[in-house]
Structure formats: C-alpha cells, structure tokens
C-alpha cells in the first residue's frame, strides 16, 4: 500500500516524458499557413497514421487524412511520413494529432500569416544596432543602454596611412553588431546589405505599408531602408578618404565577455584594408546609390555620396585586385594581435563579379564588366559571405529590362539559375522533410539556416521568371523548414513557434536578464562540424547536429547575414501569397 503512491508518481513521470518527447515527432511550420499554402507536416517514426486536425477552439476533429509512404532520411536513417493537408483551407487555429503517437505544436491558417515573421526578422536588425540606446517604446522589455559609441576608433598598426598614423582616432559610429559578438565586419555587412537592398528593389510596393515600429517609422522612408541606412552610415566611415580603400573590419583585439554592450568598453580598432571588403563596399554603395536616388528630396546628397564612394573604392580595387585579409600573417607583423572573426576570403573572383555588376547597373557602362570573368560556364553558387557572384547575377537579371545587356547575358544567367533551382525541386518526394534544404549533407554547414533561406531566395527568383508554382512551393517549404519542419523540431527564429530557440549564442540575450532571447533573430542551425565543442549536441547526424545552448556558437549563434535572407524569404512569400489570396 505504501509503495503505491510512489509507483504512481514514477508511472506518471514516465508517461509525461514519453508524451513530451513524442509531441515533437509531429513536425511542421509552427507559425502557420496561408489558406492557399501547401500544408505539410512530418511524422517521425514507424507510426502509419491516420492523422487528424483538431480545432483549438473546441478540440473537434475538422479534417482526417492518411500519412504518405515511408521515407528514410539520408542523414540519420530515421523513418518519416508526410501528412499532407493542403486541401484544408479554413482559417483558424489548430493542431495535428496522430492518435497513437502524439500531437504537433499549434498553428494557424490565415491571410498575412507570415507578415509578423518578416517584420520581426527586420526588427532583429534594430536590436543589433551599435552606438544607440534602445528605449522601451521600441524595444519593450529588451530596452537597453547605448553601447559602443565608436567615435574614437583607433587605427591599427596594420592600417596606417599618411594622414592616419597608428592609434590615430577616427569616428566610425552606428552599424549593426555582426552576430552574437559586438564587432562590425565589412565583408559580412556586404552580403547582408546586398540582400536587404535587393529585397527593396525587387518588391518596393510591399514596403510602403511595412511598419517595424522603429524610431524612424514615421519618416516617409520605408522602414526596411531606414534600417539599412543605420548600417550604410557606418560603412561609409570605413573608407580611407585618402585612397578609397576600405578597412576589413572594426573590432576589439579579442571577443568581449558575455556582457551588455554598455559594459563592453575595451578599445576598438580598424584593421588593414582588403580587396574583399573594398569590393563588397563598392557593391553596397553602387546599389545604395541606385536605391536612394528615388529618395533624393528626403535624403539629399546620400545617393551621390554613395556613388562617389563606390567609384573611389573601385579605383582602389583596380590597383589592389587581390589583397587578401590574412589575420595570422597580420598578427606576426603587428600588435595588438587580433583574434576575432576573420571573414578571410581567399578568392575574390566572385567579389569582382558582384561589384562589376552593381557598377554596371548603376552607370549603364558595360566596361565595368570588361576583364571580369563572369563564370558563365560554371554552375550557380549559393550566396554566402565568401561567395557573392550570384548577387551580381540577380542584379543583372533585375536590370536587364532597362539596360538591355549586350549578347545573351541575361538569358545565360537565367539558364544557370534555372538549372540550379530545377535541381533543388527534383526528388522532393523522396526527402524526409520534403524540403529542398538538406538534400545534400553539405547544406548543414555553419549557419545552415542561411543556406535554407538563400535557397529560398534563388527559388523565388526562378518563380518570378517562370511562374512555375513548384518553385514558389519549394521556397515556402524552406521557410517551413526554418519554422519547425526539420529534424530538430525547433523553430529557428527566436520568438516564434511552440518549440522556440531560447538560448542563442548572443551576448545581449545572455546578459540582459530577460528570460526570452531578443526576438526575430535566426539561429545558425544544424552544423555537424560542432567546432564549439559543446557537450550538449544530441548526436552527429548532419540534420540534427544542433543544440539550443548558449555555448554553441557553431550551431546556435545568430548573425546579420543569416537574418537578411530570412527577412527576404518571409517578406516575399507574404507579398506573393497575399496577392493570390
């Protein structure tokens, strides 16, 4: 008799554990779907179904379906089956249940369902702003003091020029913190800005009514561009006025501790100039010059300043066509030694393609492409901080109507793009999560979430050109991946989903004393490299190698170059799905 309560206790503990583990075995986009979205959930394990959808209002079954055929993951060998409920279009809040197995997180079906996702992901950049306080009015419980004024940044010994000797102080305020750390890196700003500016150029109308509730929200410039300007102003300060070259980064010698920005007060430096940084700068300035021309009366002179900066940086690059940032070599020669993120790109052929394309699109002068190998005989390369040629391709495609490039340049680029995206949409019905993301184990590199998002963008360009629905649907599938339809069961965007990332490697989220991390930040995602050596990874399967622990900078950091394609993907899917509603 006496033992009974204890047995019951253990039994209920056991049940609870089994139940809470199984809950996550029914996986789907934990935010939800447009009425017209394809709607898939993935059931992990040997369970054969059927599945039901229950209305959260009254727990009544509103839809019944059968699970699809068995699929086997190429990464873990695990079994999955698809629950396809695309034909269910009724707005409301629901969960999926596989009676003998468990339930999914909750989700919603409604118009504009992903707009809050796009807005939060853009607002994530606001939370990354350096050199400013974030008042409660905009930052809510994540309000914080100003950090990193960066108005007295020192010239590192590697970066001296005649007018700027060692330890000379320059002002290099504003910009976004790169990631979980507080440094500001030009190379990574390059792709980030390129992605956000392209989003504006591709879908300007959508941003007329897109309010991220930032201090500039009422200023008659789209919030997307207001946010971009915060980093643009910083980037402009990173050019040495004497020769047009651009410093590779602005950084502490060593990473700060896990403290709030206002407590991180160690000296900061700009280090040597590099061709990768300078060409990325050219691209961003040329694209900004184009975009801000239309806002001349609100931002007098900005477009011209950007154009001038772009030309000067281009000229420097012509004189220094391959000056690689080699941090180890630099540290052998100069003090203090710099050990923060390197972004040490050893091949700048792709930076030349991007910069040449942006200058061409800005000026209409084809000579900017002369002498640049456009690599038209090579396959598409997915954009990443060290691979930017495709950003140039996107710009040529966008500008081709206006500029009419000679020969068949736009046709050729279209061919390269479609050959890549046709590959992405092939054999989806064999994939364990029915996503383009993860077909190849190589997709799971450091920052794999940005691979999913950038594949999504490529698919959206392909959709724009061909109007073939499978491209749009595969882009949406990758968005579903990011929001929970994946082998970890997590939604990778902080603040969203029933199984949220709570402990990103992000100094502000760690140090601010608020339980929830800063919202709208995209976690890096699975990375079997496990370079952080955290001991909390569940296993080494490529698609599961993720740990929601703040030790994990290799799988659970956040970064601006990952957030930008998230903004793009969510915003464009919302723009397109709201049109078709």
Residues that bind ligand 9MR (CB under 6 A): 178-181, 255, 341-343, 446-447, 553, 557, 559
CB of 119 to ligand 9MR, least distance (A): 24
Question: By C-beta, is 88 or 255 nearer to ligand 9MR?
Answer: 255
Question: By C-beta, is 431 or 450 nearer to ligand 9MR?
Answer: 450
427 CB-contact burial (10 Å; exposed 0-12 / middle 13-18 / buried 19+): exposed
CB of 188 to ligand 9MR, least distance (A): 7
What is the C-alpha radius of gyration for the chain, rounded to an integer number of angstroms? Answer: 24
375 CB-contact burial (10 Å; exposed 0-12 / middle 13-18 / buried 19+): middle
Q: Which residues pair with 108 in a beta bridge?
A: 32, 93
Annotation marks residue 25 as catalytic? no
The residues near 459 (Cβ < 8 Å, ≥ 6 apart) are 421, 424, 425, 436, 471, 472, 474, 475, 478
Annotation marks residue 557 as catalytic? yes
Residue of 75, 505, 543, 574 with catalytic role: 505
Nearest CA to 391 among 187, 210, 232, 184?
187
Q: Which residues pair with 72 in a beta bridge?
A: 79
Question: By C-beta, is 103 or 494 nearer to ligand 9MR?
Answer: 494
Over the range 388-406, which residues count as b (16 or more CB within 10 Å of their CB) and which as e?
bbbbbbbbbbbbbeebebe
Question: By C-beta, is 238 or 303 nearer to ligand 9MR?
Answer: 238
Closest residue to ligand 9MR: CB criterion: 341
Question: By C-beta, is 178 or 227 nearer to ligand 9MR?
Answer: 178
CB of 171 to ligand 9MR, least distance (A): 23
Structure tokens, 307: 């154009």
Annotation marks residue 579 as catalytic? no
Residue of 358, 543, 557, 574 with catalytic role: 557
Residue of 25, 178, 181, 470 with catalytic role: 181
- Listed in order, strand segments (DSSP E) in 85-119 are 92-98, 102-103, 107-109
Question: By C-beta, is 182 or 568 nearer to ligand 9MR?
Answer: 182
Question: By C-beta, is 51 or 562 nearer to ligand 9MR?
Answer: 562
CB of 521 to ligand 9MR, least distance (A): 12
Characterise 92 by phi-psi region: left (phi > 0), alpha (psi -120 to 50), beta (else).
left
Residue of 25, 240, 544, 548 with catalytic role: 548
Contact 249, 343 (CB under 8 A): yes
- What's the rounded Cα separation, in Å, for the pair 411 and 71? 37
CB of 531 to ligand 9MR, least distance (A): 7
Annotation marks residue 148 as catalytic? no
CB of 341 to ligand 9MR, least distance (A): 2
DSSP 145: -
In SS3 terms, 414-481 reads as: HHHHHHHHHHHHCCHHHCCCCCCCCCCHHHCCCCHHHHHHHHHHHHHHHHHHHCCHHHHHHHHHHHHH
CB of 342 to ligand 9MR, least distance (A): 6
> What stretches of 267-388 show up as alpha helix (H) in DSSP?
275-293, 302-319, 327-333, 349-363
Where in the sequence numbering do the catalytic residues fall? 181, 505, 548, 557
């Amino acid at each position: 008799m006496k033992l009974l309560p204890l047995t019951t206790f253990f039994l209920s503990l056991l049940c609870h554990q089994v139940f809470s583990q199984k809950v996550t075995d029914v996986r789907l986009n934990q935010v939800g779907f447009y009425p017209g979205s394809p709607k898939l959930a993935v059931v992990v394990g040997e369970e054969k179904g059927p599945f039901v959808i229950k209305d959260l209002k009254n727990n009544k079954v509103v839809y019944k379906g059968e699970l699809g055929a068995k699929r086997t993951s190429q990464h873990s060998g695990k079994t999955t089956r698809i629950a396809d409920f695309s034909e269910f279009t009724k707005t409301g809040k629901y969960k999926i249940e596989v009676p003998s197995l468990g339930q999914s997180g909750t989700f919603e079906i409604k118009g504009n369902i992903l707009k809050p996702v796009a807005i939060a992901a853009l607002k994530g950049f606001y939370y990354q702003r350096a050199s400013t306080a974030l008042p409660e009015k905009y930052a809510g419980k994540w309000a914080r003091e100003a950090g990193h004024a960066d108005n007295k940044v020192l010239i590192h010994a590697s970066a001296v020029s005649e007018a700027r000797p060692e330890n000379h102080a320059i002002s290099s305020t504003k910009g976004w913190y790169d990631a979980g750390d507080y440094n500001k890196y030009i190379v990574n700003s390059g792709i980030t800005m390129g992605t956000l500016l392209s989003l504006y150029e591709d879908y300007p109308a959508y941003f007329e009514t897109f309010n991220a509730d930032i201090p500039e929200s009422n200023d008659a410039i789209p919030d997307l561009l207001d946010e971009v300007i915060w980093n643009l102003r910083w980037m402009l300060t990173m050019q040495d006025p004497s020769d047009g070259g651009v410093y590779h980064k602005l950084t502490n010698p060593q990473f700060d501790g896990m403290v709030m920005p206002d407590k991180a007060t160690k000296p900061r430096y700009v280090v040597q100039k590099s061709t990768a940084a300078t060409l990325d700068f050219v691209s961003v300035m040329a694209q900004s010059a184009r975009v801000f021309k239309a806002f001349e009366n609100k931002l007098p002179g900005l477009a011209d300043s950007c154009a001038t900066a772009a030309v000067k940086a281009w000229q420097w690059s012509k004189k220094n066509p391959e000056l690689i940032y080699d941090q180890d070599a630099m540290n052998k020669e100069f003090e203090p030694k710099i050990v923060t993120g390197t972004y040490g790109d050893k091949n700048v052929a792709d930076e030349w393609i991007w910069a040449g394309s942006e200058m061409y699109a800005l000026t209409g002068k084809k000579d900017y492409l002369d002498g640049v190998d456009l690599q038209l005989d090579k396959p598409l390369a997915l954009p990443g901080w060290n691979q930017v040629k495709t950003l140039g391709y996107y710009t040529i495609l966008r500008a081709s109507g206006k500029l009419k490039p000679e020969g068949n340049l736009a046709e050729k680029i279209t061919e390269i793009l479609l050959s890549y995206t046709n590959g992405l949409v092939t054999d989806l019905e064999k994939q364990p999560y029915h996503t383009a993301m993860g077909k190849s184990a190589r997709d799971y590199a450091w920052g794999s979430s940005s691979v999913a998002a950038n594949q999504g963008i490529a698919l959206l360009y392909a959709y724009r050109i061909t109007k073939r629905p499978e491209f749009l649907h595969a882009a949406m599938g990758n968005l579903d991946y990011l929001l929970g339809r994946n082998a970890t069961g997590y939604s990778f965007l902080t603040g969203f989903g029933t199984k949220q990332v709570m402990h990103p490697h992000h100094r502000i989220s760690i140090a601010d004393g608020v339980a929830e991390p800063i919202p709208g930040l995209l976690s890096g995602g699975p990375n079997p490299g496990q370079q952080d050596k955290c001991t909390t990874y569940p296993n080494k399967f490529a698609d599961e190698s993720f740990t929601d622990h703040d030790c994990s900078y290799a799988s659970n950091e956040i970064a601006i170059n990952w957030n930008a394609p998230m903004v793009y993907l969510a915003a464009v899917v919302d723009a397109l799905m709201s049109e078709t509603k």
